[in-house]
Amino acid sequence: MTTKMKIKTGSDGGYDVLVLAKHPMETGNRKDQKTGETIPAHFIQTMVFSVNGTEVAQANLNQGISANPLVGINIKNANPGDTVTVSWTDNKGESDSAESTIS
């Protein structure tokens, strides 16, 4: 799976961090149209945002979020040159991360 991140200057002086996580986000309630079997739950549980290795925010997601979720936060105490990292883990133990430098 692929996670993409975009950082831009926010209107309030901080930095807006937008993360697009490519993930199916299955609820466990949907049925496969061909087989009629229930598709197992598969969703992101936790998304962690860090600046220079220090955690600054955490998002707790669940199966009620759409596929390929777009999650955004605003970071106030960051400077150009700082490294922003986002990582997520899902209910099956799979994970991904992305990193970007504030310009």
For the segment 59-101, what is each residue's pLDDT rounded down to a tens digit? 999 999 999 999 999 999 999 999 999 999 999 999 999 999 9
- 38 Cβ contact partners less than 8 Å away, ≥ 6 residues apart: 28, 29, 30, 31, 32
Rounded to the nearest 5°, which phi and psi values hold at 5?
A: -130, 140
For the segment 12-62, what is each residue's pLDDT rounded down to a tens digit? 889 999 999 999 999 999 999 999 999 999 999 999 999 999 999 999 999
Above 80 in pLDDT, residue 1? no
Instruction: Return the pLDDT at 11.
Output: 82
Give percent of the chain with pLDDT exceeding 70.
100
What is the distance of C-alpha 102 from the center of its chain? 18
Q: How far apart are CA 37 and CA 2, in angstroms?
A: 27
Structural domain containing residue 67: 3-101
Is the separation of the CB atoms in 5 and 18 below 8 Å? yes
Report CA-CA distances (Å) from 56 to 71, 75, 93, 103: 14, 8, 22, 19
Longest dimension (CA), the chain: 52
For residue 21, the domain's CATH number is 2.60.40.10
pTM of the predicted protein model:
0.92
Q: How far apart are CA 43 and CA 11, in angstroms?
A: 32
What is the count of structural domains for the chain?
Answer: 1
Question: What's the count of helices (H) and strands (E) in the chain, helices before strands?
Answer: 0, 7
Instruction: Return the pLDDT at 89.
Output: 98
